[in-house]
Chain A
Amino acid sequence: MIRAPRKTALWYAAMIHRISGVALALFLPLHFLVLGLAIEGEAALDGFLIWAELPIVKIAEFGLVFLLAVHLFGGLRVMALEFLPWSPRQKTYAAAAVGASFMAGVGFLLSAAS
């Protein structure tokens, strides 16, 4: 099998969108189950949330915020590409989407540290 040609920036943009989407879909059931703990009362939820104070969990949460943001901004880019008049500046928009997502992640970390 002949390998695919060298990947372009926009191939990576699409792959980031795909991987972030799959990761968010896998995280979602856990997220729902944790919130579901509140059925047993506030204490049950709090009993789980103490784990959220661990630095490693904070880093994982930074990852989640980044994934959510990059899927949002990347998705808006795809829909702009598909529904708005064609623009040749696709790479710029893809870079902007990733940049904005890092800003959201950094905003989360700054907020978590305060």
Chain B
Amino acid sequence: MGSIDSGSQPAANGKLEIKIWRGRAKDGAFSAYQVPEQAHQTVLDVVTYVQRRIDATLAYRFACRVGMCGSCAMTVNGVPRWTCRTDVKTVARKGRLVIEPLRNLPVVKDLVTDMAPFFDKWQAAEGRLQATSDREAEVATIDPASPERKAADAGVECINCAVCYSACDVVTWNPDYLGPAALNRAWTLQNDERDGGKAERLRAVTSDGGCQNCHSHQSCTEHCPVGLSPTASIAGLKRMATRAAFGRGPR
């Protein structure tokens, strides 16, 4: 999804000029570092180089390094990104990178944000399967061609990286708003035949901070590293809420 920052140029002297946010949100500041430029270098590689070779006190978060775990998202040159899958060449401007923590979340230190509000809203949106059977039951058979299965498939690959949550202006404006990731997850569950919590979840996603707050800016869709469209999922929830208002509950 590296289409936003095009026209990048290589560093002048083989060194990347890196600015990294240090400290907390209020009393923190940028520190500058020089990192050798390499072929096939990710933004996470750059941050790791700084932490291992220049300043061991730099705090950041990562785990899998292959775009599956969703823990390494940061703001890179003003754009929220999964740093382990972002090639420096696609985002650096004249060899310069400005790396900040994710927006819309409290900063613990340096590049580490407190993800608690993000996951609290995930739970508030009932973003978990309400099982209707146990492990002794047979595996549910779900028709891959059914509209519900297709709708769930479209949103299910979310890696919980909070890039969408960080990109969303409604989250900034309205602290109660559940946000794109939690609502996207709720939508996949509303389309899950095995789930037994649909009425409860519909109430949760139409609460004061629910799906109806979305203004369809589609910044979430623009920045989602795995190419999902939370806006489409939220629109689905809005249709479901509308049907419910006319007495037609979720199937």
Contacts and interface: CB of A to CB of B under 8 A. Distances in A.
Contacts of B235: 81-82, 86
A90 B78 contact: no
Contacts of A11: 169, 217-219
**Size class of the A contact interface (CB-based, 8 Å):** 10 to 19
Contacts of A83: 238-239, 242
Contacts, number: 60
A5 B239 contact: no
Nearest to B169: A4
B31 interface: no
A2 B169 CA distance: 12
Contacts of B103: 1-5
A14 interface: yes
A90 B221 CA distance: 12
A11 to B, nearest CB: 4
Contacts of B172: 4
B95 to A, nearest CB: 20
A89 interface: no
B216 A14 contact: yes
B104 to A, nearest CB: 8
A11 B80 CA distance: 16
Interface in B136-182: 167, 169, 172
A1 to B, nearest CB: 7
Interface of B: 4, 25, 75, 78-80, 100-103, 167, 169, 172, 215-219, 222-223, 229, 232, 235-236, 238-239, 242
Interface of A: 1-8, 10-11, 14, 78, 81-83, 86, 88, 90
